[in-house]
Amino acid sequence: MMRASPLVDAQGRSLRDLRVSLTDRCNCRCLYCLPETEAAQDYSGGSGVHRPGPAPLGRHRTARSALQARGPRSHLSFEEIERVARIAAGLGVRKLRLTGGEPLLRRGVEKLVTRLARLPGLADLAMTTNGLLFASQARALRGAGLRRVSFSLDSLDRDTFRKITGRDGLNDVLRSIELAQRLGFQPVKINAVIIRDLNDHEITSLAAFARDHTLSVRFIEFMPLDAARAWRRERVVTGSEILQRLRAAFDLRPVAPGNPSATARRWTFAEGRGEIGIIAPVSEPFCDHCQRLRLTADGRIRTCLFSVIEHDLRPLLRNGASDNAIAEWLCGVVSQKEPRHHIGEAGFVPPPRSMSCIGG
């Protein structure tokens, strides 16, 4: 029988949350991840001027070409993902989130969801998606056992949405959110990365959208995880500034944290509908109580979102290692989890891969 040791790092943090990237491919080109729009070029140059419409496909192809150069065997199979999740659950992981890239670009995701939903020990199975393909797969995912879903939605304005994502897909995302609510996914969350002079003027409108539609919106600080290395500290709208703007527009009631490892500070509206959360890893790091572990689509374990080191699990999975051996290996990797990230400090080195390759 596999050993049931917990995944505890050198700082005494028990890792309970595993994020699994199903693919590093994406059908969006968000400027904070895989930019290819002219707006992203203007943004990275710091001009603050945004030309309308996406640039032709093919601009900024360096990151995308690197992704497509790898063969399909570089990605873990569903069987391999299920095995890792099962072993991790045996070591104390209780929450599992499917991410990407865009996870719904992986064919047959509902089959994997069915397998994962049956694993003993897992208390929560969720997905993060950009929503462009969700409507066509929503019922199958719900039937397979997916219970929670988060959508990326950085703007409610069609032109701004297109500038950020490189795609004219706002209406598709809005339809997906509405469908998720009708099908009983609970809660339905939207994630909004806020960037100064691009979409920060929509902070209050995004919050009002969450209130009016009984959604949870998570405002996320802009992080240095883009393939074009366009991140600038002056473009970060801090969590405290976001909260200040929201409190000026709404009567907010703080929500006591139910989980000490939660990344978001939360508030509800006085009207009793909807919720906001602020995730501020740049200005208010929550490293001290981080419980997350990440598995990339190509089988590498990352102990921090900003790790510059990855631990390759594929050889063990494909060369006959036992479950016990993999469990021991995972415990050893977790023991090396970084105490904290170093964003904003002298000598900070961003991770070599963008968010689409790391997994959200």
How confident is the model over 73-117, as pLDDT tens digits?
Answer: 689 999 999 999 999 999 999 999 999 999 999 999 999 999 999
Distance CA 354, CA 226 (A): 5
Evaluate whether 209 touches 215 at the Cβ level (below 8 Å): yes
Evaluate whether 28 touches 166 at the Cβ level (below 8 Å): yes
> Considering the domain boundaries, does residue 223 fall inside one?
yes
Tens digits of pLDDT across the chain (360 residues): 444 458 998 889 999 999 999 998 999 988 877 755 444 444 444 433 333 333 333 333 333 334 444 455 689 999 999 999 999 999 999 999 999 999 999 999 999 999 999 999 999 999 999 999 999 999 999 999 999 999 999 999 999 999 999 999 999 999 999 999 999 999 999 999 999 999 999 999 999 999 999 999 999 998 776 555 666 888 999 999 999 999 999 999 999 877 766 788 999 999 889 999 999 887 776 677 788 899 999 999 998 877 778 999 999 999 999 999 999 999 999 998 887 776 766 676 666 676 667 766
> Considering the domain boundaries, does residue 221 fall inside one?
yes
Q: Which domain holds residue 271?
A: 17-358
Distance CA 178, CA 191 (A): 15
CATH number at residue 345: 3.20.20.70
Q: Which two tokens stand for residue 328?
A: 């021991």
Q: What's the pLDDT score for residue 66?
A: 40
- For 306-344, b/e burial (b = at least 16 CB within 10 A) is bbeebbebbebbeeeeeeeebbbbbbebbeebbeebebe
Question: CB count, 10 Å around CB of 224?
Answer: 22
Q: Report the candidate in 22, 95, 21, 33 with the shortest Cα–Cα distance to residue 64.
A: 33
Q: Which two tokens stand for residue 251?
A: 């009567």
> Considering the domain boundaries, does residue 182 fall inside one?
yes
> Considering the domain boundaries, does residue 1 fall inside one?
no
> Considering the domain boundaries, does residue 48 fall inside one?
yes
DSSP string for residues in 185-232: -SSEEEEEEEBTTTTGGGHHHHHHHHHHTT-EEEEEE--S--TT----
> Considering the domain boundaries, does residue 138 fall inside one?
yes
> Considering the domain boundaries, does residue 256 fall inside one?
yes
* Tens digit of each residue's pLDDT (9 = 90 or more) over 164-177: 999 999 999 999 99
Q: What's the pLDDT score for residue 188?
A: 97
Q: Report the candidate in 319, 338, 292, 313 with the shortest Cα–Cα distance to residue 99.
A: 292
- For 17-41, b/e burial (b = at least 16 CB within 10 A) is bbbbbbbbbbbbbbbbbbbbbbbbb
> Considering the domain boundaries, does residue 320 fall inside one?
yes
Q: Report the candidate in 235, 215, 233 with the shortest Cα–Cα distance to residue 277.
A: 215
Number of domains into which the chain is organized:
1
Evaluate whether 142 touches 113 at the Cβ level (below 8 Å): no
In angstroms, the first-to-last Cα distance of the chain is 32
Evaluate whether 7 touches 93 at the Cβ level (below 8 Å): yes
Q: pTM of the entire structure?
A: 0.86
Q: Which residues pair with 295 in a beta bridge?
A: 20, 301
Give Cβ neighbours of residue 340 (< 8 Å, ≥ 6 apart).
285, 287, 288
